[in-house]
Amino acid sequence: MSTLREPSPTNPAGSALTRVSVGQFAERFKSEVIPLSNTFGYFCASVPMSEEVLKEYLEEPIAALPPSLTAMLPRISILLVPYLERCAERGSRTRRKTRAGSTVEKVGDFVVAERPVDDRQSWASQVSFENETVLVFALKEQDVAEYHYRLYRRLAALVADTWSTQAAGGYKATIREELAASVHGEVDDESWQAKQNLLRRQANVNRDSPLFSDYLRQSFIDTLTLYLHGICCDIDVETGPRQLPSRYLRKRLNLLKTLYPPPPGYAVFPEDHEQAKNNEPGSTTQLSKP
- Whether 104 contacts 127, CB under 8 Å: yes
Instruction: Summarize pLDDT for 243-266 with one digit per residue, the tens.
Output: 999 999 999 999 999 999 999 999
State residue 98's pLDDT score. 40
Give the separation between CA 226 and CA 190, rounded to whole angstroms: 13
pTM: 0.81
Answer whether residue 288 shows pLDDT above 80: no
Contacts 24+ apart (CB under 8 A), 161-164: 161/103, 162/72, 163/72, 163/220, 164/72
**Residues with Cβ < 8 Å from 110, sequence gap 6 or more?**
19, 20, 21, 22, 84, 85, 87
Average pLDDT, the chain: 83
* Residue 19 three-state SS: coil
Answer whether residue 120 shows pLDDT above 90: no
Residue 229 pLDDT level (bands cut at 50, 70, 90): very high
DSSP structural state of residue 242: T
Mean pLDDT of 61-84: 94
